[in-house]
């Protein structure tokens, strides 16, 4: 038996141990009372802003030596800013709607998220599943199937649709880790008992309450998304890597495929790969489908998502959850998401009543693309069936035989006057979300093309026109707006309505030889643009770049926004890739190595496969830039290089403010480039010396706009 002295010594050691950290809500209260930002606190403690966010959300705890420093700071603030009289109520999350008595907090070990133990009455619903109810856990047992961070702050940005629809009370998605913890948006953690893929699918549909409400009343609700970490994939019997690197799918004889088949689950045509859709046929109009994302199989492309796939499970849930809330629940690559967003916002069909039978059947939704439509032959890529037999197999089509609407890539030699002017810098500016901005208020065809011979040009008819624009004079210091390389056309060619309309805007008289026009048209991409615009602006605001800033404030904020929060930067990159990739997907070409020219390929079955719409969007992107460059040329400023949505000007200083023209009142020149965060406005892309620019053009014969950010750093575009 221990002596009394030994017991007292052990107790004294406990009393002298590390003091307990205040709960997350109190940490937040103290920091805000001191008027210190999370970024500033992170800088002081030599850590990241996201780490501070995790401490204040209860997702993680500080470790030595930062723990002691953080504790000392909190103790100092606690003396300076004591709790108000209603301290118990003040510690509740801003979104909490219960009473203080319903928010008792149990403090777990520092390595685990803090747990809020709520009464059953707080979460109970007539149809509530057990997995969504938080209950007090006995001291000798693990917590129940739901764990919530104790005193989470109300988020400054949307974190999920929880609370808007009880069917999806736990948000759009969850990230499953190896211990069975399913991390959802807002810090919610569910305990998932499944140890096989079929069991995971069954549990998700029966208990997880994941998913998202439809974006259009005639559309479908978003299926629940489960993201598997490396450890979770191993737990479910999935290999660490895919042996089939070309097909990117599990072989049909894999045990997981056999388990799904035995349980009568089906896979989509792409099989069991990095993005997997597992479903059963609809019954009584109800979808039964779960999407899986396999992180160890490189499901999240680093070009679109950065290092998101390597983050801890709670952080992956935060990134994907924000994207799901602002754009849509991911369903594949960002390019796939861009295309899916179009049909989610403009569903192909709606329910209409059959007058004969009285039953409701699918009918076309006005203003939408509602059936796959073949393009006009000048709009079709070389592999398309409509061109079968029209040209020899290895023939290169001329401008009079194919439409070639692409963004500008152009540069020119410096003039003697520019060399003598004494410029010191080359400054690049980049158009924010250029392709999305071009989609705004763009009239596009929604039905089949009608061929017309010797038509009169009508800018209200979207389509393709065979017309000779070679006679239109353009300043050699500006690119031609009619070709992707900026060179003047040398004869008739096929152009979209947008390009021909811009030619008439420049004063040209056009006489089309032939045309394929569409009588059914509309602003199909408007809701797509608006949702992406709102997502982009909201995410930039999270990074400290907001609308309404002065030009100088905007440039200062943009100079360091990428270092503010890596997770938010990842969301931003995904939004931009969604806009760009979605437009590209409108003309997806054959991807299979065995495809034969003239044979159809899977993408042609989509209602949103439309090279015509892609051509109109890109034509508007190009003509919008040319219109602004022409406005600056009118006051004597000419570009020297262009790469898609980046344009380079000579300047007497390193900032865009050193060359962008302003009115006498100090406002940006009307019709020219404007600095700002909104899509269609511009940001600073990069600055190099005048000598660097001259060397690129004269000696390397390379486009300076491609590397204006710095040697070896290609312009990303948007």
CA torsion angle for 549, 555, 560, 562 (degrees, to 10)? Answer: 80
Residue 10 has pLDDT above 80, yes or no: no
With beta carbons less than 8 A apart as the criterion, state whether 671 and 627 touch. Answer: yes
Q: State whether residue 285 is helix, strand or coil.
A: coil
Q: Is 414 exposed, middle or buried (0-12, 13-18, 19+ CB in 10 A)?
A: middle
Question: What pLDDT score was predicted for residue 3?
Answer: 65
Residue 277 has pLDDT above 60, yes or no: yes
68 sits in which H/E element:
helix 66-80
pLDDT in tens, 382-391: 999 999 999 9
Q: Could you write out the DSSP letters of every residue in 597-657?
A: TTS--GGGGSTT--HHHHHHHHHHHHHHHHHHHHHHHTTT---SEEETTEEEEEESSSSGG
Question: What pLDDT score was predicted for residue 287?
Answer: 86
Question: If we measure between CA atoms, which residue out of 516, 510, 514, 502 comes closest to residue 470?
Answer: 510
Question: If we measure between CA atoms, which residue out of 623, 648, 620 comes closest to residue 474?
Answer: 623
User: For residue 225, what are the β-bridge partners?
Assistant: 173, 291
> What 3 state SS string does 648-695 have?
EEEECCCCHHHCCCECCCCCECCCCCCECCCCCCEEEEEEEEHHHHHH
C-alpha separations of 376 from 200, 257, 459, 464 in Å? 46, 42, 18, 8
Q: Residue 278 has what DSSP assignment?
A: E
Q: Do the domain assignments include residue 265?
A: yes
C-alpha separations of 70 from 36, 63, 67, 547, 563 in Å? 13, 10, 5, 34, 22
C-alpha separations of 38 from 27, 150, 261, 714 in Å? 11, 19, 50, 32
Question: If we measure between CA atoms, which residue out of 225, 305, 275 comes closest to residue 577?
Answer: 305
Question: What pLDDT score was predicted for residue 673?
Answer: 98
Q: How far apart (Å, rounded) are the C-alpha atoms in residues 40 and 47?
A: 10
Range of the domain at 79: 24-331
pLDDT in tens, 509-549: 999 999 999 999 999 999 999 999 999 999 999 999 999 99
432 pLDDT band (50/70/90 cuts)?
Answer: very high
Q: How far apart (Å, rounded) are the C-alpha atoms in residues 407 and 236?
A: 46
Measured in degrees and rounded to the nearest 5, phi and psi for residue 220 equal -110, 150
Question: If we measure between CA atoms, which residue out of 669, 653, 715 comes closest to residue 431?
Answer: 715
Q: Do the domain assignments include residue 558?
A: no
Q: Is the dihedral of CA 518, 521, 527, 529 positive or negative?
A: positive
Q: Is the dihedral of CA 659, 662, 667, 671 positive or negative?
A: negative
Q: Do the domain assignments include residue 378?
A: no
Q: Do the domain assignments include residue 19?
A: no
CA torsion angle for 535, 332, 564, 96 (degrees, to 10)? Answer: 60
Tokens of 677: 């965060």
The total of structural domains in the chain comes to 1
Q: How far apart (Å, rounded) are the C-alpha atoms in residues 571 and 322?
A: 7
286 pLDDT band (50/70/90 cuts)?
Answer: confident
Q: How far apart (Å, rounded) are the C-alpha atoms in residues 639 and 605?
A: 42
Measured in degrees and rounded to the nearest 5, phi and psi for residue 102 equal -90, 5
Question: If we measure between CA atoms, which residue out of 676, 654, 433 comes closest to residue 555?
Answer: 676
Percent of the chain with pLDDT over 90: 70
Q: How far apart (Å, rounded) are the C-alpha atoms in residues 266 and 522?
A: 37
Measured in degrees and rounded to the nearest 5, phi and psi for residue 686 equal 165, 160
More confident residue, 8 or 356: 356
Q: Is the pTM of this model over 0.85?
A: no
Q: How far apart (Å, rounded) are the C-alpha atoms in residues 472 and 604?
A: 37
Q: Is 674 exposed, middle or buried (0-12, 13-18, 19+ CB in 10 A)?
A: middle
Q: How far apart (Å, rounded) are the C-alpha atoms in residues 506 and 469?
A: 11
More confident residue, 298 or 246: 298
Q: Is the dihedral of CA 190, 194, 195, 201 positive or negative?
A: negative
pLDDT in tens, 107-162: 333 333 333 333 333 333 333 333 333 333 333 333 333 443 333 333 333 444 33
Question: What pLDDT score was predicted for residue 105?
Answer: 34
More confident residue, 426 or 19: 426
60 pLDDT band (50/70/90 cuts)?
Answer: confident
CA torsion angle for 575, 170, 197, 266 (degrees, to 10)? Answer: -70
Q: How far apart (Å, rounded) are the C-alpha atoms in residues 337 and 540?
A: 20
Distinct helix (H) and strand (E) counts, the chain: 21, 23
Q: Mean pLDDT, to the nearest integer, of 683-702?
A: 97
5 pLDDT band (50/70/90 cuts)?
Answer: low
Question: If we measure between CA atoms, which residue out of 501, 516, 519 comes closest to residue 466?
Answer: 516
Q: Do the domain assignments include residue 184?
A: yes
413 pLDDT band (50/70/90 cuts)?
Answer: very high
Q: Residue with structure tokens 């299979």? A: 592
Q: How far apart (Å, rounded) are the C-alpha atoms in residues 403 and 496?
A: 8
Total Cβ atoms within 10 A of residue 635 = 9
Q: Residue 34 has what DSSP assignment?
A: T
Q: Do the domain assignments include residue 279?
A: yes
226 sits in which H/E element:
strand 225-228
Q: Residue with structure tokens 């598997």? A: 228
Question: What pLDDT score was predicted for residue 9?
Answer: 60
Question: What pLDDT score was predicted for residue 2?
Answer: 63
Question: What pLDDT score was predicted for residue 110?
Answer: 35
Q: Do the domain assignments include residue 550?
A: no
With beta carbons less than 8 A apart as the criterion, state whether 164 and 171 touch. Answer: no
C-alpha separations of 282 from 288, 349, 351, 485, 701 in Å? 7, 17, 16, 50, 59
Q: Residue 46 has what DSSP assignment?
A: T
Q: Mean pLDDT, to the nearest integer, of 42-70?
A: 81
Q: Mean pLDDT, to the nearest integer, of 317-338?
A: 97
Measured in degrees and rounded to the nearest 5, phi and psi for residue 430 equal -125, 135
Calculate the average pLDDT of the chain: 86
Residue 601 has pLDDT above 50, yes or no: yes
6 pLDDT band (50/70/90 cuts)?
Answer: low
Q: Do the domain assignments include residue 443?
A: no
Q: Is the dihedral of CA 197, 203, 206, 212 positive or negative?
A: negative
pLDDT in tens, 467-503: 999 999 889 999 999 999 999 999 999 999 999 999 9
With beta carbons less than 8 A apart as the criterion, state whether 397 and 382 touch. Answer: yes
Residue 94 has pLDDT above 70, yes or no: no
Q: How far apart (Å, rounded) are the C-alpha atoms in residues 253 and 88?
A: 58
């Amino acid at each position: 038996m221990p002596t009394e002295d030994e017991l007292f010594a052990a107790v004294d050691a406990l009393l002298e141990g590390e003091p307990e950290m205040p709960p997350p809500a109190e940490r937040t209260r103290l920091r805000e009372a001191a008027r210190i930002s999370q970024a500033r606190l992170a800088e002081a403690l030599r850590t990241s802003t996201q780490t501070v966010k995790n401490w204040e959300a209860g997702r993680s705890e500080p470790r030595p030596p930062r723990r002691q420093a953080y504790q000392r700071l909190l103790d100092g603030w606690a003396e300076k800013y004591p709790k108000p009289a209603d301290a118990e109520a003040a510690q509740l999350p801003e979104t909490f709607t219960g009473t203080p008595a319903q928010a008792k907090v149990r403090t777990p070990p520092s390595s685990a998220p803090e747990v809020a133990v709520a009464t059953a009455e707080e979460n109970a619903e007539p149809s509530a599943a057990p997995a969504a109810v938080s209950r007090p856990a006995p001291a000798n047992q693990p917590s129940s199937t739901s764990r919530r961070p104790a005193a989470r702050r109300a988020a400054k940005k949307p974190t999920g649709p929880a609370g808007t629809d009880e069917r999806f009370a736990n948000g759009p998605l969850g990230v499953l880790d190896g211990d069975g913890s399913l991390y959802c948006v807002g810090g919610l953690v569910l305990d998932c008992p499944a140890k096989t893929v079929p069991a995971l699918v069954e549990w998700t549909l029966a208990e997880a309450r994941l998913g998202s409400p439809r974006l259009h009343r005639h559309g479908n609700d978003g299926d629940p998304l489960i993201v598997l970490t490396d450890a979770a994939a191993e737990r479910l019997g999935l290999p660490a890597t895919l042996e089939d690197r070309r097909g990117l799918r599990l072989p049909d004889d894999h045990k997981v495929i056999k388990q799904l088949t035995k349980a009568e689950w089906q896979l989509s045509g792409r099989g069991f790969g990095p993005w997997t859709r597992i479903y059963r046929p609809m019954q009584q109009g109800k979808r039964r489908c779960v999407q899986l994302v396999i992180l160890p199989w490189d499901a999240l492309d680093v070009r679109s998502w950065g290092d998101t796939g390597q983050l801890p499970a709670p952080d992956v849930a935060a990134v994907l959850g924000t994207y799901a809330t602002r754009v849509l629940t991911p369903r594949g690559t960002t390019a796939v998401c861009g295309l899916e967003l179009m049909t989610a916002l403009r569903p192909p069909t709606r329910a209409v009543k059959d007058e004969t039978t009285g039953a409701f059947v699918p009918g076309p939704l006005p203003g939408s693309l509602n059936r796959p439509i073949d393009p006009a032959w000048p709009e079709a890529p070389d592999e398309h069936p409509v061109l079968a037999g029209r040209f020899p197999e290895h023939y290169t089509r001329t401008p009079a035989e194919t439409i070639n609407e692409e963004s500008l890539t152009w540069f020119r030699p410096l003039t003697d006057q520019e060399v003598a002017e004494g410029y010191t810098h080359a400054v690049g500016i980049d158009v924010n979300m250029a392709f999305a901005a071009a989609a705004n208020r763009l009239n596009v065809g929604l039905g089949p093309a009608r061929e017309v011979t010797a038509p009169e040009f009508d800018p209200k008819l979207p389509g393709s026109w065979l017309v000779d624009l070679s006679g239109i004079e353009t300043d050699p210091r500006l690119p031609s707006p009619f070709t992707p390389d900026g060179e003047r056309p040398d004869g008739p060619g096929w152009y979209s309505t947008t390009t021909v309309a811009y030619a008439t805007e420049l004063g040209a008289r056009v006489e089309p030889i032939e045309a394929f026009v569409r009588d059914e048209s509309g602003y199909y991409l408007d809701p797509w643009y608006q949702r992406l615009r709102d997502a982009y602006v909201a995410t930039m605001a999270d990074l400290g770049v907001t609308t309404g800033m002065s030009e100088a404030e905007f440039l200062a904020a943009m100079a360091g926004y990428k270092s503010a929060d890596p997770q938010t930067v990842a969301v931003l990159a995904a939004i931009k890739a969604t806009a760009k990739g979605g437009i590209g997907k409108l003309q997806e070409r054959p991807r299979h190595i065995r495809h034969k020219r003239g044979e159809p390929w899977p993408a042609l079955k989509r209602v949103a496969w439309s090279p015509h719409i892609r051509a109109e969007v890109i034509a508007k992107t190009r003509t919008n830039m040319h219109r602004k460059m022409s406005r600056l040329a009118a006051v004597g400023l000419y570009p020297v290089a262009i790469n898609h949505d980046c344009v380079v000007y000579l300047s007497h200083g390193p900032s865009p403010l050193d060359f962008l023209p302003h009115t006498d009142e100090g406002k940006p020149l009307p019709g020219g480039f404007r600095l700002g965060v909104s899509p269609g406005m511009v940001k600073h892309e990069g600055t190099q010396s005048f000598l660097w620019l001259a060397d690129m053009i004269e000696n390397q014969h390379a486009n300076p706009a491609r590397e204006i950010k710095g040697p070896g750093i290609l312009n990303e575009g948007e």
